[in-house]
Structure 1
Amino acid sequence: RIEDLARDPNHREKHDRVVTRALSALPVFVELGMPYLKKKGELWCWKSSISELNDVGKALQELNGCVSRVLEYQLPGEDAPRFIIALQKMGETPEKYPRRVGIPQKKPLI
């Protein structure tokens, strides 16, 4: 599980980039992805809307991250734009994150 692997010293704070699919809320991605990143690494989240940026402030504060850029793109044959939200890690992730399996989804950091 992603929550368990994030505690493995071979993976925790070792990666330059983590890429997610649009399967969960942005605060959940932040909690599950940030522990893998080195300082200045980026978490790329594919989203169909940027409205979730309104809900991610607490998670970014807790996990020492910030929004670095938002890229808009269009899929062929679709009218609605899509987005890649790039979040940058600014400092170490507190040891208590990620929380146990299921907790980030049930009680997101918002």
Structure 2
Amino acid sequence: MMELETLLTGTKWEIIQLLASKSYAPLELSKKLDTTIANISQQLRLLQTAGLVKKKKTGSAKPGKPRTLFSLSDNYAFITVFSKNFAEKKLIKISKRQKEVLKQLIKE
């Protein structure tokens, strides 16, 4: 599997940031990020393989309506800790409460 730090850079990170607010179709993401649909599809496959995003078929057959939407698969935190006698990196699943605490810590 790809190193997590690599997954959290460039276009993949921009996709994660957008999906944090709502679900998107690949075409919408390509327009927002000004890149090709092929690039977005490749990045989404990598994120999906890592378990960070999930896709949902909408069943829509209407022209102009997306058939597949992507969203974040869960709430995660990528924690990096380095201090005397301890250094560690880890991706952890977090609860809604933990997410709120982390948001406050990051804003400080």
TM-score, normalising length: structure 1: 0.31
TM-score, normalising length: structure 2: 0.31
Higher Rg: 2
Bigger fraction of residues in strand: 1
Bigger fraction of residues in helix: 2
Higher relative contact order (CA 8 A, sep 6+): 1
